[in-house]
Amino acid sequence: MRLFLSGLVLLASLAAAPARAEPVVIDRVVAVVGPQPLLLSELRARAAPMIAQLDRTDVAPAARAAAERRLVDEVLQHLIDAELVAQAAARAGVEVTTAEIDAGLTRVAAQNRVSVQELLVEARQQGFDERLYRDEIGRQICEVKMLRLRPLPAGLDERQHLEALERLRRTWLAELRRATYVEIRL
């Protein structure tokens, strides 16, 4: 009798269980930059603050979907550029220290006439956690350090210097893209 009841319990549990579990995608590669994969989770984390801003706008669903697609594409390009710069910096032996990131945060806060804590609170309100914001400041510092390794024409006023720096940046990133295997899988 006991064996019969055990068989019934087993049969009931098998009948209640789904026949087959469906696979669930936890993460996936959205791009490959040289040897480095870029993950969907990273893309979502970087795009989340901007998508939240988009969600606060009053636009038609079709226009919103198109805007979100453009936004995701822009963020992916930004991540690819950041990875290209990080790889170039590693090859050049250029590093960014925590002290440099702290100083960068202090500069940004001073430019906005707020404390670093207030700056971080504002960043959080816009959807950036402190780690993500510090990473972005570090990435920008790294890019500037790498650009300073390249010559700029002398005798430029501030506006001309900024324009020349932006042209140099675009040219340099294009060179990095041509020299590095980049595959987008989005």
Per-residue model confidence as pLDDT tens digits over 77-100: 999 999 999 999 999 999 999 999
pLDDT value of position 55: 87
Spatial distance between the Cα atoms of 96 and 99, rounded to a whole number of angstroms: 8
**CA-CA distance, 146 to 16, in Å (whole number)?**
61
Give the pLDDT score at 152. Answer: 83
Q: Is the full-model pTM beyond 0.75?
A: yes
Pair 20, 173: CB distance under 8 Å: no
30-74 residue pLDDT tens? 999 999 999 999 999 999 989 988 888 888 999 999 999 999 999
| Alpha helix segments (H runs only) across 17-151 | 40-55, 61-92, 98-111, 116-125, 130-148
At 5, is the pLDDT very low, low, confident or very high (cuts 50, 70, 90)? very low
**pLDDT band of 24, cuts 50, 70, 90:** confident
Contact predicate 37/69, CB 8 Å:
no
Closest by Cα among 9, 161, 185, 175 to 81 = 175
> Is the CB of residue 134 less than 8 Å from the CB of residue 105?
yes
As a whole number of angstroms, the distance between CA 11 and CA 6 comes to 9
Using DSSP, state whether 156 is helix, strand or coil.
coil
Residues whose CB falls within 8 Å of the CB of residue 95, separated by 6 or more in sequence, listed in order = 89, 142
The tokens describing 60, both together, are 């038609």
